[in-house]
Chain A
Amino acid sequence: MRTDPSENGGLFVGRRPGTAPVRFRSLPQRGGDVRQRIDGSIATIMLAAITLLCLLCWGPIPIACLWLGSQANYLTGSVSLGLLVSFAALFALLFGALSLMKRLDNAWILVRRAAGYDQRTGVLGRIFAATAVVCALAFLLWFLVIHGPGTSLVARGGGN
């Protein structure tokens, strides 16, 4: 009869899944305090860059693509070409931005580790979701209050 509760025949690992420590190919040689502080600052700048790129995805890039499409329409007189240019530019810029952000996120993890943090995962997903919420709220504010029914109601109310 087996009575040792810690003996599970190797069925379970002794920690929760996903909490394994990071394994390096060789033990990293971290720089001094100054270097780590600099790395911390670089990581913050990179985080800001990722945030900016995310924000671009939710407004400026689509607007820029629509502008490109309108220019094509204006120059050629073809609506179809305008639409095509808009969608092509949108796909290219969005996927390019996503690819760039993914690379930045990976680099950010390394810089954070170099700065002395036990950074295990990236931050891109959370920033992407947060900027989506912020931009959606901003759009709603603009659409409903600044430019949409809100302004009409205000104008109508003012007319009465």
Chain B
Amino acid sequence: MGLLDYYRQFEGMSEEEVNAELREQAAERRRKALTRVETLDLSLTTWPELPHPRIVSAITFVARRGLHRYPHLSASDLRGALAEHHGVDPERLILGNGAADLLSAATRALLEPGQQLLTHWPSYPLYPLMARRAHGHAVRVADTGVDALLEAVAREPDVRAIAIASPNDPTGELLAAAELRRLLETLPAGVAVLLDEALVDFADAQPTSTSIELLEQHPQLLVFRSFSKAWGLAGLRIGYAIGAPGAGELLAELAPDLGVSEISQAGAFEALHSCSELMQDHVRAICDERPRLLAALRQRGFTVADSQANFVWAAHPTLPGAELAARLARAGVLVAAGDALGEPRHVRIAIRSESATDRLLSTIDKAA
């Protein structure tokens, strides 16, 4: 380096040069932003959007008012609102830290060590786990019909409870009200039915209140619902259980010892109070999109269960679920491979918007 060059290297850039460079960098960022395609995550069953600002404001209000206190154990406001929403006595409804927590508590309350919990399979992976935590055994029934459950009850010596997800996660199948009634009427006394309706808001094949109506005649039925799916409040971990008239004693056993967080109560109450229509809009969009996705996948040779949930359970004609999921992931679309959910041939694909369906289908056409 020459003497003058040595000193010239300390020359700063002029303002014009700096501005030109910044403009070029900004243009480059814009170019990249326009060409970048965000990953489309269809692997989760939770609602993909942020909660409504009113819900966040309600939570913030409660948080500012005083987190130094314990929450109200009775949660009478939310219980009252939910009871009114479902047309039941508030004494028949309890809140929990998510429907899963209540299901787990119900299993512990019902099962003696060594007794059995019956469940369809594939289904929600928590069911076998909660049977184990209650020192019992899970009996998995591969057939999804009610007859298979009744046969298993007759065959197995010590079935104490049946856990049914309706719509079922991951298959999306809904247990028809008539079938549920037949199951309840045929079951021997002493076998309880834990009906997990976390996804029932997405069902349009029958009114969502049918199971709650069945509670009037069938005290062995417990219905579990959640704010995690259609209401889009998975982070609050709040759900509730509804029992038959006179089931107060059992419900009291399921309730969390120290109640449900006041923040969760506030979010759920506000959602119920002011976001019901928004939730219905979300559900309607899913229900409108679901038949199109089902038909398009079947047209491509997929085996697809009749879903009443916000996802479909599909098997590619040739590819295993994990391989299909990996190929789609490489193309920027995430789906849940079935091996972790109990059936390796399948994938679980969440239903989103029309454009998401279009992108999924075009990615399947290219990648699979």
Q: Flag if B7 contacts A111 (CB, 8 Å).
A: yes
In the docked arrangement, what's the CA distance between A10 and B314, Å?
46
Q: Are A28 and B9 in contact (CB under 8 A)?
A: yes
Asked if A24 and B9 make an inter-chain contact with CB atoms under 8 angstroms apart, the answer reads yes
Q: A126 near B: Cβ within 8 Å?
A: no
CA distance A70 to B9 in the complex (A): 48
A109: chain B residues at CB < 8 Å are: 10
| A101 within 8 A of partner (CB) | no
> Is B6 within 8 A of A24, CB to CB?
no
Taken together as a complex, chains A and B put the C-alpha atoms of A107 and B11 apart, in Å, by 9
Q: Which residues of A contact B10 (CB under 8 A)?
A: 24, 28, 109-110, 113-114
Instruction: Please name all residues of chain B whose beta carbon is closer than 8 Å to the beta carbon of A31 when the two chains form the complex.
Output: 6
Residue of B nearest to A23 (CB): B13
Cβ–Cβ contact B13 & A107, under 8 A: no
Enumerate chain A residues within 8 angstroms of B57, measured Cβ to Cβ.
1
Picked from B8, B12, B53, the residue with its CB within 8 Å of the CB of A1 is B53
Residues of A within 8 A of B7 (CB): 107, 110-111, 114
Residues on the B chain within 8 Å of A19, using CB: none
Question: Within the assembled complex, what's the spacing in Å between the Cα atoms of A31 and B201?
Answer: 73
Q: Interface of chain A, helix or strand or loop or mixed?
A: loop
Closest to A25 in B: B13
Chain B residues, CB < 8 A from A114: 6-7, 10
Q: Which of A1, A23, A29, A109 has the most CB of B within 10 A?
A: A23
Return the CB mask of B1-26 against A: 1 if under 8 Å, else 0. Answer: 10000111111110000100100000
A117–B312 Cα gap in the complex (Å)? 67
A22 touches B (CB below 8 Å): yes
Closest to B56 in A: A1
Verify if A26 is at the interface (C-beta below 8 Å from B): yes
Distance to closest chain A CB from B273 (angstroms): 19
From known contacts A31-B6, A114-B7, infer whether A24 and B13 are also in contact, taking CB-CB under 8 Å: yes
Within 8 A of B (CB), among A1-28: 1, 20, 22-26, 28
- Chain B residue with the shortest CB-CB distance to A115: B10
Task: Report the Cα distance A22→B13, complex, angstroms.
Answer: 7
CA distance A85 to B123 in the complex (A): 105
Contacting residues of chain A (63-82) with chain B, CB-CB under 8 angstroms:
none
CB distance from B26 to the nearest CB of A (A): 11
Q: How far is the CA of A77 from the CA of B305 in the complex (A)?
A: 117
B residues less than 8 Å from A24 (CB atoms): 9-13
Complex formed: what's the CA distance from A25 to B11 in Å?
8
Contacts of A29 in B (CB 8 A): 1, 9
Within 8 A of A (CB), among B104-140: none
Contact partners of A107 in chain B: CB under 8 A: 7
- Tell me the nearest residue of chain B to A112, going by C-beta: B10
- With CB as the reference atom, state the residue of chain A lying closest to B22: A23
- Whether the pair B8, A110 counts as a contact (CB closer than 8 A) is yes
A24 to B13 Cα, complex, angstroms: 6
**Least Cβ distance of B7 to chain A in Å?**
5
- Residues of A with C-beta under 8 A to B53: 1
B283 to chain A, nearest CB (A): 27
Closest chain B residue, CB of each to CB of A119: B10
Distance between B15 CB and nearest chain A CB, rounded to angstroms: 9
C-alpha spacing A107/B302, complex, angstroms = 75
* Residue of B whose beta carbon sits closest to that of A26: B9
- Shortest Cβ distance from B349 into chain A, in angstroms? 35
**Which positions 45-100 of chain B face chain A at CB distance < 8 Å?**
53, 57
How far does the alpha carbon of A110 sit from the alpha carbon of B18 in the complex, in Å?
Answer: 18
Looking across the interface, which residue of chain A has its beta carbon closest to that of B15? A20
Give the complex CA separation of A113 and B21 in angstroms.
23
Would you give the shortest CB distance from A148 to chain B, in whole angstroms? Answer: 47
A residues near B12, Cβ cutoff 8 Å: 22-24
**CB within 8 Å of B: which A99-145 residues:** 107, 109-111, 113-114
B225 shortest CB reach to chain A, Å: 31
Q: For A31, give the chain B residue with the smallest CB separation.
A: B6
Please report the C-alpha to C-alpha distance between residue A101 and residue B188 in the assembled complex, in whole angstroms. 106
What are the residues of chain B within 8 A of A25 when measuring CB–CB? 11, 13
Identify the closest chain A residue to B12 (Cβ).
Answer: A22
- Within the complex, what minimum Cβ distance (angstroms) separates A113 from chain B? 4
- Give Cα A23–Cα B21 distance, bound, in whole angstroms: 11
- Chain A residues with CB below 8 A from B6, complex form: 31, 114
Q: CA–CA, A73 to B7, complex, Å?
A: 47
A109 to B12, CA, bound (A): 10
Q: List 9 A-B contacts (CB under 8 A).
A: A20-B18, A24-B13, A25-B11, A28-B10, A29-B1, A110-B7, A111-B7, A113-B10, A114-B7
Which B residues are within 8 Å of any A CB, using their own CB? 1, 6-13, 18, 21, 53, 57
